Amino acid sequence: MFPLPIFPLPDELVPLHIYEPRYKHLLKDAEDKDILFGIFFNHVLNTRRVGSLVKLESVIKRFANDEADIIVKCSGLFYLNKLYRTYRDKDYPGGDVLPWDIDINEPVSKELHELFKQYLQYFQIHHHDTTPSFFMVANELNLDFEERLRFVNSDNHQKEHFLFSHLRYQSYLFEEAEKSKDRFHLN
């Protein structure tokens, strides 16, 4: 278990730099045993004690002192009942968790899918026709911690409304930024 001030959402890829000895041991276990591990969102806003279940995707770089740059992928969410400084016979933290029963592949509506495709075109990203999940859309929006917590604690109807609002707002900001390119000229 990593208590960190980050809150990855399902399907999000997250870079981490591993430097403490106890987390080097966790990395070794993740590599050797192909285990999932948790990132507990260690933040004052996290009153429900939620965290992210992640899996090691790749080791990007290893350093001479056994430090490493890695990429993990979030595969689900959990509630943390109790955090332990060390877990069982390990020197890294662990905890008693309850997996969050959510469908991370729940598709968005056709209307939201269309708006999302338009949004991606601002960045010249051509999305395939597969209907994205709520989490796929949320991961593209660069949500802050409070927004992520509000999003995951919402029902699907609220998630849809939340994503519509954010897509429209960010699209508006992008359009205004594009307009300003014609108004301002650098010396």
- DSSP assignments along 156-176, one per residue: HHHHHHHHHHHHHHHHHHHHH
Q: Are residues 16 and 38 in the same domain?
A: yes
Residue 142 lies in a domain: yes
Q: Are residues 122 and 95 in the same domain?
A: no
Residue 186 lies in a domain: no
Amino acid at 79: Y
Q: Are residues 10 and 95 in the same domain?
A: yes
| Helix locations, the chain, DSSP H | 21-33, 110-121, 134-139, 145-152, 156-181
Which domain range does residue 133 map to? 110-181
Q: How confident is the model at residue 122 (pLDDT cuts 50, 70, 90)?
A: confident
- Indicate the pTM of the whole model: 0.87
Residue 104 lies in a domain: no
CA-to-CA distance for 8 and 128, rounded, in angstroms? 24
- Residue 116's contacts (CB-CB under 8 Å, 6 or more residues apart) are 108, 127, 132, 137, 140, 163, 167
Nearest to 1 by CA among 85, 101, 99: 85
- Of 76, 99, 122, which residue sits at a domain end? 99
- 35: three-class secondary structure by DSSP: coil
Q: How many CA atoms lie within 13 A of 168 on its CB side?
A: 8
Q: Kindly report, residue by residue over 14-41, the tens digit of the pLDDT.
A: 999 999 999 999 999 999 999 999 999 9
Q: Are residues 45 and 121 in the same domain?
A: no
Residue 50 lies in a domain: yes
Q: Are residues 20 and 84 in the same domain?
A: yes
Q: Are residues 59 and 117 in the same domain?
A: no
- Of 64, 99, 134, which residue sits at a domain end? 99
Residue 139 lies in a domain: yes
The number of folded domains in the chain is 2
Q: Are residues 41 and 118 in the same domain?
A: no
The domain that holds 52 is classified in CATH as 2.30.130.40
- Of 67, 99, 131, which residue sits at a domain end? 99
Q: Are residues 8 and 81 in the same domain?
A: yes
Q: Are residues 91 and 115 in the same domain?
A: no
Q: Kindly report, residue by residue over 31-88, the tens digit of the pLDDT.
A: 999 999 999 999 999 999 999 999 999 999 999 999 999 999 999 999 999 999 998 8
